Amino acid sequence: MDQADRGRLIELTRFAPGGGHCFIAPLADVPPGDREEDPFGSPLVLFEDGIALGPPHSLHAGIREAGGGRYSHWKDSLYLSASDNSDPRVNRRRYQIYVPAVRSGAVGRALASLDALAEGYTPAEAYAAVERCLAALYPAAKIGEDLKSFWNEREFITAYRMLAGDNYRALERKWTVYNLLKALDSVAGDVAECGVYNGATAYFLALGIERGGRRRVLHLFDSFAGLSQPGAADGSFWRAGTLACPEEVARGNLARFSDVRFYRGWIPVQFPAVAGRQFCFVHVDVDLYQPTRDSVEFFFPRLQAGGMLVCDDYGFDSCPGARRAMDEYFAGRPERIVHLPTGQGLVIKLDPRAAAAN
């Protein structure tokens, strides 16, 4: 045992029947255990002849019906079962609890949720444990639904890992733009992205073009020198030069695709090069107020009716300027911003004649 850990080992001597394989041991001079508002709060560990039992935090019905060493420190009592479901009053085994003095609070609750997983746990049990860990450590964060079918899109996931490694934070956003673009076969026009970084999103835009029913050109705008100087509307999260990436990296990641054009320079300096083009899909990922406003003001009038503009940064507290730029531009227009749970902001261009009629 770590010498810094000043926990206590307590002998259990009193057991009362709790129904089925369950027995109840009252606990004195021990902090309260699990309870309704914190069902994984107890750090207590139960030993039978020096061997740890478990899983802890088990449902009492599971202790009664399945037993097998399951236990629960609930409020001021220990609900337990022997490893072989024998009677601890007569099986001549030694039962002890270890009450650690470390890892209390949020970290302790998070670890307890993992300790509750028995060997051979199911994917659903693992997902629930991760939910409990997240709730303990970062209560404001919310994990989404389990069993999403696109997790098994092997080709897509392989391509994503090639571009982003094992960082899956942007996976759902990439999947979103890829599928939105594929849905636009009936809308003419090219595709543009403002803010390219290493070309990861551009890769899936190019893939969506490749698998669509129209030939389109993908136009990519970036300084490749990182962000410009943040303004007063942008908060304190970003710094000038953040997110710099060599253009050669993006070009290399997109080398397999044809009809991809790069426009290197600060937004909006290079926009006039495509002033005569029409677009079906525009992706804006520049994080800051002024380049977001410049991008939307230039491209939205050139977006075909039924086309889409996606602001990657719209729903992130790190990018208040990007959200303000979007809200300001669309405040006087008939289109509405759809705030997606991925953090993206989606706008679908209305037919001007239909908008006027309404």
pLDDT in tens, 80-117: 999 999 999 999 999 999 998 756 678 878 887 887 78
**Inside any domain, residue 3:** no
In a domain, residue 96? The reply is yes
Residues 75 and 172 in one domain: no
Q: Residue 188's CB: how many other CB atoms inside 10 A? A: 14
User: Residue 305 falls within a domain, yes or no?
Assistant: yes
Q: 0.75 exceeded by the pTM?
A: yes
Tell me, yes or no, whether 1 lies in a domain.
no
- pLDDT at res. 160: 97
Structural domains counted in the chain: 2
Which residues constitute the domain of residue 287? 149-357
Exposed/middle/buried for residue 112 (C-beta within 10 Å: 0-12, 13-18, 19+): buried
- pLDDT more than 90, % of the chain: 84
pLDDT at 43 over 90: no
Whether residues 97 and 206 share a domain: the answer is no
Question: Which band of pLDDT confidence, cut at 50, 70 and 90, is reported for residue 2?
Answer: very low
| pLDDT per residue as tens digits for the range 268-320 | 999 999 999 999 999 999 999 999 999 999 999 999 999 999 999 999 999 99
95 in the same domain as 25? yes
In a domain, 142, yes or no: no
Classify residue 111: in a domain, yes or no: yes
Residues 218 and 82 in one domain: no
- For the residues 204-209, what does the mean pLDDT come to? 98
186: region left, alpha or beta (phi > 0 left; psi from -120 to 50 alpha): alpha
Q: Give the tokens for residue 172.
A: 């759902």
Does 124 share its domain with 153? no
